[in-house]
A and B are shown apart, each in its own frame.
Chain A
Amino acid sequence: MFELVIWAEVLATVSIALVANSVSAIWAEQDKKLTWWLVAVVLISPLVYITFGLMTAKIGVAIGSGTLDSLLSISTIAVGLVFFKDSKKLSRYQFLGLYCIVVGIICMQLSR
């Protein structure tokens, strides 16, 4: 039960960071920079670091940052490919490069 709660908290932390990444990407796509999206970025970004800080304090910096960072990297790449339609813009070599990067991040983060 305790482990289930921890995983739920990890999922919530990664989700908040993923929303922040997506909001900042949407903000940067606009021609006009002083929009409500900028207000959303300013409001949500401290929340990301607060939840990350609290999670790493709870489960340890090495395991915490390793798990959270790798989950966030992979989910942001997936969101980019699916929701931002990046898959249409990328070449085969860039796809292969992304695959190598995902494998590399997992190797580096999970062996900390």
Chain B
Amino acid sequence: MKIGTWFLVLLAIVVALLGNFIAATWARQDNLFSLWFFALVLIAPFVFITFGLVTSRLSVAIGAGTIDSLLSIGTILIGLVFFNEWSTLTIMQYFGIIFVVCGLIMMQHKRTTRYPRAHTHQLLKVFLTIMTTGALRLTTDKKKR
């Protein structure tokens, strides 16, 4: 993927996160026709326009997979970093992150690339080693608690 495409993916994720935040805030209000409603109507087209621009460069399946998976990881990371929710991270979520990152690495190989390059194998190995060590530590920590 080119840098321009990654930038577009990042933009699509930021706009979608903003849209999700505005939608969740709007739905909690007693008055449904508040300023949040107008903010929602304003931001919503931009979410789908950026999504469309990503799919035009990557294809619908790969674009949707990339954006949705990074959105899920982004939401979890916001909880972990900004709300200090490390103790609430479940083993399932941890394995979910492992699967998604492996999937993202594998999706970089287009049809024209016959075999994955050696550095991708190494990247996958290093990532899996780090995450397996983390998973073991997480399970022993949970058992101790």
Contacts and interface: CB of A to CB of B under 8 A. Distances in A.
Interface of A: 20-25, 27-29, 38, 41-42, 44-46, 48-50, 52-54, 56-57, 61, 65, 69, 72-73, 76-77, 79-81, 84, 86-87, 89-91, 93-94, 96-112
Contacts of A104: 69, 72, 95-103
Contacts, number: 192
A101 B106 CA distance: 10
Nearest to A57: B27
A54 B107 CA distance: 34
A76 B76 contact: no
A94 B106 contact: yes
Contacts of A89: 59, 111
B104 interface: yes
Interface centre among A99, A103, A108 (most CB of B within 10 A): A108
B139 to A, nearest CB: 15
Contacts of B24: 53, 56, 61
Contacts of A93: 106-107, 109, 113, 116
A45 B45 contact: yes
6 contacts: A23-B48, A28-B52, A48-B48, A61-B24, A76-B68, A104-B97
Interface in B85-137: 90, 92-93, 95-111, 113, 116
Contacts of B49: 24, 27-28, 38, 41
B104 to A, nearest CB: 7
A45 B69 CA distance: 21
Contacts of A107: 92-93, 95-96, 99
A41 B60 contact: no
Given A53-B27, A61-B24, A108-B96, A91 B110 contact: yes
Interface centre among B59, B76, B105 (most CB of A within 10 A): B59
Nearest to A54: B27
A76 B44 contact: no
A19 to B, nearest CB: 11
Contacts of B69: 73, 101, 104-105
A29 B62 CA distance: 15
A22 to B, nearest CB: 8
A46 B65 contact: no
